[in-house]
Amino acid sequence: MDREFAILILNACYRASRELGEIGVMVQEFAPDAEGRAIKLQAGATIGEIGKITEAVFKRHPDLEAYVESQIDKFGRIS
């Protein structure tokens, strides 16, 4: 995969992880019961699976790790 496509994949992964991370906040506020905790755990597991995708991208393009870090340092996010 070329570098530009790898960046698109990383953008999508980080965006999806942010969205799923918001579930934890919403669950605490709107569904602090056992069902909400289960949803929070499922969201966490999904974020873990997304992490496997980013690891695969970094394996093919190790230089993108520094790129991602610099984007997060500069803008607080990658996408």
Query: Cα angle at 8 between 2 and 47, to 5 degrees?
Result: 120
Name the burial class of residue 10, with classes exposed (0-12), middle (13-18) and buried (19+) by CB atoms within 10 angstroms of its CB. buried
Domain boundaries in the chain? 3-75
In this prediction, residue 5 carries a pLDDT of 97
Per-residue model confidence as pLDDT tens digits over 6-38: 999 999 999 999 999 999 888 888 888 888 889
Q: How many helices and strands (H and E) does the chain possess? A: 3, 0
Q: Do 20 and 41 touch, CB atoms closer than 8 A?
A: no
Residues with Cβ within 8 Å of residue 26, at least 6 apart in sequence: none
Tell me if the pTM is above 0.95: no
